[in-house]
Structure 1
């Protein structure tokens, strides 16, 4: 077993020494804000980050100004070596990556890696995934867990292999999802919990104390998937139950936003609550009907109750709470 020591000696501010073994060299791969928390946790834990791989700068905004990824901004601010390959199989990039002589690669919210990349380090490549694998494999695990009304979710670290999100599990950590929590709120909790789990994972790999476990076998019928969110996914069907519609709203908030139409314009709903009639009978209105007093509340009838809209955005307008919207809206 390799003894893990929090010693920095003369090895630099981002280095951890492991007994008589050379410091573990890590290449980090990630792009969005979610990944920054993990990179920051690794840096603060003292690990040697020999390279940061992130997406190329892209034009954005009205002026189409080149914009850096959140991970690149952090890496540059902390003096880390950054690589931004257009293609991961590019021979020049592969030579640069190999020259870093990483012992371990870590992937957080990045693109798919070819085998020549994920199989390069001696300790392989570890991925941090935003679900309790094997459930919710795919691109949007946070969104789908909320859309499906899960009461619990979590994070998993695992070793990459050929099939997506199927590698041997290293560590997992779970946490509850509140009844009205949005995907954005779950995301913000998850990035911090995931960052700490990743630090534990790297320490365990350094100490050779982890026991990778194959993902539990489950029939296709028992697996819940997390595919990419499309426009059709975001369209609200008020023929569904109030619970289902409420979960769709919070599962797509803040992005891309569940939507319906109002006076011929797209209306996005970002925050809602469930509202049920006093009697167990169906609402008098038909699903999709809008009910409002013009001052305090705005509701849509669903199959068994009402969706109470709390935060919304009408096409061409700013996002706002319901009361502010009603004060300025003319029917």
Structure 2
């Protein structure tokens, strides 16, 4: 089967690498255009493009997915199947092109956590398990018929970054299994159930990341680990932004108003939430690097 792969970030590289190592026929890789970044505004290429170029794969970088030139070039590849991992929403003219359709790898157990940030929201909501799902694309985002899914457990203190890395590899293996099944016809599509409570995973904006210390300690703890290492939960300290990467819950009545803090100036800094304290163990002060609490307290006076 001839395959066109579509993806952009590191999460997608693991899948592309798995397909390449499984000796699948990748006739093209579609990824985001190069973008200027940093102070020098040097062109930055996507992680997927870096891998594709290093492995001699043909790369397409359309600005607009409906551009006639791109559509013509894509069609000329004569792909049997298109594979999408962490890419843009596709127009119907693109996803309906291959005879065997277009499949997507999504980092949740669909139909739960449809949307742009499934890994973050699963942890923020305190879920005990997550997973990866492969499905056929159709018009409404993340709603197509499920092919396969695999489940992983979420330990109590796992961060979004740690779950990302686990699902990245799990998803890559699941994708190879899915493509092999499509090639042999050995699979059974299952429509996604639409009944019951569906939890969503919308894109996360900065205002969502600010810690509300009037919330229960467990909720704040889950927010911190669900946004770690990116885009990162934050609060204010001495009029400056303090990013928080890891916390520990201390189940003890605060005795001070939510948002107040206690410190010995050497080993601990803990903020009061509604029903307990949160000890900050990894953090980053405005204008400083990320560091542990001991190093932080040696360099700042509170």
Instruction: Bin the TM-score by the shorter chain.
Output: over 0.9
- The alignment status of 1:134 with 2:105, answered yes or no, reads no
Partners of 1:290 and 1:283 in 2: how far apart?
9
Partners of 2:243 and 2:278 in 1: how far apart?
13
When normalised by structure 2's length, the TM-score is 0.99
Cα distance, 1:217 vs. partner? Answer: 2.1
Match of 1:309 in 2: 280
Partners of 2:280 and 2:128 in 1: how far apart?
22
Residues 172-183 of structure 1: pairs in structure 2 closer than 5 A: 172-183=149-160
Q: Deviations over 1:16-70 (max 9, x none)?
A: xxxxxxxx00000000000000000000011000000000000011111001100
- The alignment status of 1:251 with 2:237, answered yes or no, reads no
Task: Please tell me whether Structure 1 or Structure 2 has the larger radius of gyration of its CA atoms.
Answer: 1
- The alignment status of 1:288 with 2:259, answered yes or no, reads yes
Which residue of 33, 48, 58 maps to 2:35? 58
Partners of 2:17 and 2:254 in 1: how far apart?
51
- The alignment status of 1:75 with 2:52, answered yes or no, reads yes
Alignment root-mean-square deviation, CA: 0.6
Match of 2:199 in 1: 224
- In structure 2, runs of 5+ residues without a counterpart are none
Aligned pair count reads 302
- In structure 1, runs of 5+ residues without a counterpart are 1-23
Cα distance, 1:298 vs. partner? Answer: 0.6
Partners of 2:69 and 2:230 in 1: how far apart?
36
What's the secondary structure of 2:236's corresponding residue?
strand
Partners of 2:156 and 2:280 in 1: how far apart?
15
Which residue of 277, 291, 298 maps to 1:320? 291
What's the secondary structure of 2:274's corresponding residue?
coil
Partners of 1:191 and 1:327 in 2: how far apart?
37
Partners of 2:216 and 2:45 in 1: how far apart?
42
Q: Deviations over 1:203-260 (max 9, x none)?
A: 00001011000001224xx010000001111010111111000000000011111011
Residues 74-113 of structure 1: pairs in structure 2 closer than 5 A: 74-113=51-90
